[in-house]
C-alpha cells in the first residue's frame, strides 16, 4: 500500500513540476564523468514571475540526498534569460551563505574563481556542474569544459544552493530530488 501511495505522489509531483522519467538519456558529454547516472528530477526556476532557468539533476547509483556532498552527480542549468557571468557568480555567493557562514577569504576566492569560469549566458545556453566528492566541481558550458574549482567545501556549498535543506527554493529542491528520493534506500532522510 505504501508503494502505491508513493507512486501516486510521484505521479502528482511529476505532473506539477514537469519532471521527466529516467528514460531520458544522460547527455553525451557527461557519460565519462558521471557514468551510469540517471535523471533524478527537473524544475523551472522562476523569480518574480520571470523564468530564469530549467534545472536538471543527474545522479550516480547510490546517491543519498542527505549526503549529497559524498556523491557524484551533475546539475545542469538551461538558461531561459540572458545573464552576465559576474552576476551568476555574485548570486551564487549570496545563496552559498545560506548553507553556512563564509569567511571573507572564501567569499573572495570562490567568487573570483566563479567569475573566471562562468561565461555570460544567453537564453538557451547551459552551464553544468559535476560534483566530484572529496575534490570539488568541474563546470561545463554548452558541452565544453570551462574548468574546475578544487575545493570540497566550495562544492558542498555551491551545490547546496539547490540540494541543501537550507535552500531558498525548497520546492525546486523537492522536484530535483524526486526520483532520487524514490530510489533511496529505506531509512534515508531527505
Over the chain, what HEC string results?
CHHHHHHHHHHHHHHHHCCCCCCCCCCHHHCCCCCCCEEEEEEEEEECCEEEEEEEEEECCCCCHHHHHHCCEEEEEEECCCECHHHHHHHHHHHHCCCCCCCHHHHHHHHHHHHHHCCCECCCCEEEEEEECCCEEEEEECCEEEEEECCHHHHHHHHHHHHCCCCCCHHHHHHHCHHHHHHCCCCCCC
Residue 140 in any domain: the answer is: yes
Residue 74 in any domain: the answer is: yes
pTM: 0.82
CA 61 to chain centroid, in Å, comes to 16
Residue 189 in any domain: the answer is: no
Residue 152 in any domain: the answer is: yes
Domain encompassing residue 71: 2-183
Cβ pair 177, 187 in contact under 8 A: no
Residue 190 in any domain: the answer is: no
pLDDT, position 12: 36
63-113 per-position pLDDT tens digit: 999 999 999 999 999 999 999 999 999 999 999 998 889 999 999 999 999
Please tell me the total count of domains within the chain. 1
Number of CB atoms found within 10 A of residue 88's CB: 20
Residue 188 in any domain: the answer is: no
Residue 17 in any domain: the answer is: yes
pLDDT, position 187: 40
pLDDT, position 136: 97
9-63 per-position pLDDT tens digit: 333 333 334 444 445 778 888 888 888 899 999 999 999 999 999 999 999 999 9
Which CATH number do you get for residue 175? Answer: 3.50.70.10
Amino acid at each position: 500500500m505504501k508503494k502505491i501511495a508513493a507512486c501516486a505522489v510521484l505521479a502528482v509531483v511529476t505532473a506539477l513540476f514537469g519532471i521527466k522519467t529516467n528514460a531520458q538519456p544522460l547527455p553525451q558529454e557527461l557519460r565519462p564523468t558521471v557514468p551510469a547516472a540517471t535523471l533524478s528530477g527537473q524544475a523551472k526556476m522562476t523569480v518574480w514571475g520571470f523564468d530564469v532557468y530549467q534545472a536538471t539533476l543527474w545522479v550516480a547509483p547510490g546517491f543519498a540526498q542527505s549526503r549529497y556532498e559524498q556523491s557524484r552527480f551533475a546539475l545542469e542549468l538551461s538558461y531561459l534569460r540572458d545573464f552576465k557571468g559576474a552576476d551568476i557568480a555574485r548570486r551564487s555567493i549570496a545563496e552559498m551563505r545560506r548553507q553556512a557562514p563564509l569567511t571573507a577569504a572564501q567569499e573572495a576566492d570562490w567568487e573570483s574563481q566563479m567569475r573566471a569560469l562562468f561565461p555570460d549566458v544567453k537564453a538557451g545556453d547551459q552551464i553544468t556542474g559535476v560534483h566530484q566528492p572529496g575534490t570539488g566541481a568541474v563546470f561545463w558550458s554548452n558541452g565544453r569544459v570551462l574548468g574546475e574549482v578544487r575545493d570540497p567545501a566550495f562544492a558542498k556549498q555551491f551545490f547546496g544552493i539547490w540540494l541543501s535543506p537550507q535552500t531558498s527554493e525548497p520546492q525546486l529542491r523537492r522536484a530535483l530530488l524526486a526520483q532520487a528520493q524514490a530510489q533511496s534506500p529505506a531509512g534515508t532522510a531527505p
